[in-house]
């Protein structure tokens, strides 16, 4: 388990969840953006609750490993949602058109 800390609080959550939140925070910072992310966390009474936290540009989020007795908090849906947020920030993999492709698109093909 990891202790995820930001400006609004501290949340005990699963390792993978915390790692993805930090990764999304870095991606948002690199894009100079801020977003909210929903995470499950282990509440003081032992149950699981949800929190919406702000991460990204000029916000701080840290994850620190904790040696806690008990089951790891796993939420595959939350991890998929966080990863999807991160992928929306990243380029789709498209590459710029070459000079030849631009000429073709503009109808300037060389005709021999």
70 has pLDDT over 50: yes
Sequence-distant (6+) residues with CB within 8 A of 80 are none
- In this prediction, residues 6-28 reach a mean pLDDT of 95
112 has pLDDT over 50: no
19 has pLDDT over 70: yes
Q: Whole-model pTM?
A: 0.78
Our CA dihedral for 102, 104, 106, 112, rounded to 10 degrees, sits at 130
Q: Locate tokens 């540009």: which residue? A: 57
pLDDT in tens, 20-62: 999 999 999 999 999 999 999 999 898 999 999 999 999 999 9
């Amino acid at each position: 388990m990891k202790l995820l800390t930001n400006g609004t609080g501290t949340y005990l959550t699963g390792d993978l969840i915390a790692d993805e939140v930090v990764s999304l925070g870095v991606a948002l910072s690199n894009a100079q953006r801020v977003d909210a992310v929903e995470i499950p966390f282990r509440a003081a009474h032992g149950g699981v609750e949800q929190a919406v936290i702000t991460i990204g540009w000029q916000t701080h989020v840290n994850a620190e490993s904790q040696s806690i007795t008990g089951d790891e908090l796993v939420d595959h849906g939350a991890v998929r949602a966080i990863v999807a947020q991160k992928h929306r920030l990243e380029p789709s993999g498209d590459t710029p058109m070459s000079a030849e492709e631009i000429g073709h698109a503009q109808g300037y093909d060389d005709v021999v």
